């Protein structure tokens, strides 16, 4: 069996309902699909066997965590195999030992983290913010993702800099755009927006336009007042 296996997940989790093509309501929906109603779904937990090298990763991760005194079932919420990718959902309390195990175990050796991305699911109550870490094993030529769900009411997760120092600016960007606070980061400041900016522009509850935006003392007109198509 090839290592590269695409195996569908075991069902999907419905977290809400979308109205319109892009979720816009009222006159803001210019797609022509204003009456479209569709469920908002996420891939559900995948049952064993995962296929390819994914089962080996899960087994080695469980054994490595045990050597650190961490129970696999306490650290891992679920495993999702979808479209040929493996995503390990971990509790935020155990993010560091999971990442360190994936990096340090000789049979795993995920020595490269490609940064961290934020995702905002406002319909997923208590799990609105997600931090996603793509990992790559150069030694074994394998890839997986770590994902942590974080409540909007308490948007804190530990920094991964002790394990992957190159996540420094990536964590700052995710904080800047999504408001996820990486505890222990040595300089968690905005990296693209001005320091005095209010809000986090890539969250789905952030205004898309139609309101005056103040940028370093200059007032910029709403988008519909400054577009020119000729």
- Residue 48: both structure tokens together: 């064993």
CB count within 10 Å of CB 106 equals: 9
| pTM value > 0.85 | no
Q: How far apart, in whole angstroms, are the C-alpha atoms of residue 60 and residue 172?
A: 31
User: Rounded mean pLDDT of 79-104?
Assistant: 96
- Residue 209: both structure tokens together: 């336009």
At 198 the three-state DSSP class reads coil
From the CA atom positions of the chain, what is the Rg in Å? 20
Name the fold adopted by 12-23+35-194.
Beta Polymerase; domain 2 (3.30.460)
Give yes or no for a contact between 43 and 57, defined as CB atoms under 8 angstroms apart: no
- Residue 180: both structure tokens together: 């996820």
- 148-176 pLDDT, tens digit each: 999 999 999 999 999 999 999 999 999 99
What does each C-alpha distance from 51 to 18, 141, 165 come to in angstroms?
Answer: 33, 16, 31
- 118-130 pLDDT, tens digit each: 999 988 899 999 9
Distance spanning both ends of the chain, measured CA to CA: 57
């Amino acid at each position: 069996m090839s290592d590269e296996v695409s195996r569908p997940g075991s069902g999907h989790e419905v977290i809400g309902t979308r109205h319109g093509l892009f979720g816009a309501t009222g006159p803001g929906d210019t797609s022509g699909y204003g009456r479209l109603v569709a469920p908002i779904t996420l891939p559900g937990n995948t049952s064993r066997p995962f296929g390819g090298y994914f089962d080996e990763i899960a087994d080695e991760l469980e054994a490595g965590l045990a050597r650190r005194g961490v129970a696999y079932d306490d650290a891992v919420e679920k495993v999702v195999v979808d479209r040929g990718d493996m995503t390990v959902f971990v509790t935020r309390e155990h993010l560091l030992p999971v990442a360190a195990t994936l990096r340090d175990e000789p049979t795993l050796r995920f020595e490269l983290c490609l940064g961290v991305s934020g995702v905002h699911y406002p319909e997923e109550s208590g799990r609105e913010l997600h931090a996603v870490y793509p990992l790559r094993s150069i030694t074994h030529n394998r890839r997986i993702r770590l994902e942590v769900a974080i409540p909007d009411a308490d948007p804190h997760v530990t920094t991964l800099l002790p394990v992957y120092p190159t996540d420094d600016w990536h964590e700052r960007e995710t904080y800047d755009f999504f408001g996820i606070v990486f505890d222990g980061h040595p300089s968690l400041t905005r990296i693209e927006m001005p320091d005095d900016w209010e809000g986090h522009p890539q969250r789905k509850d952030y205004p898309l336009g139609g309101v005056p935006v103040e940028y370093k003392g200059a007032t910029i007109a709403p988008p519909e007042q400054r577009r020119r198509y000729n």
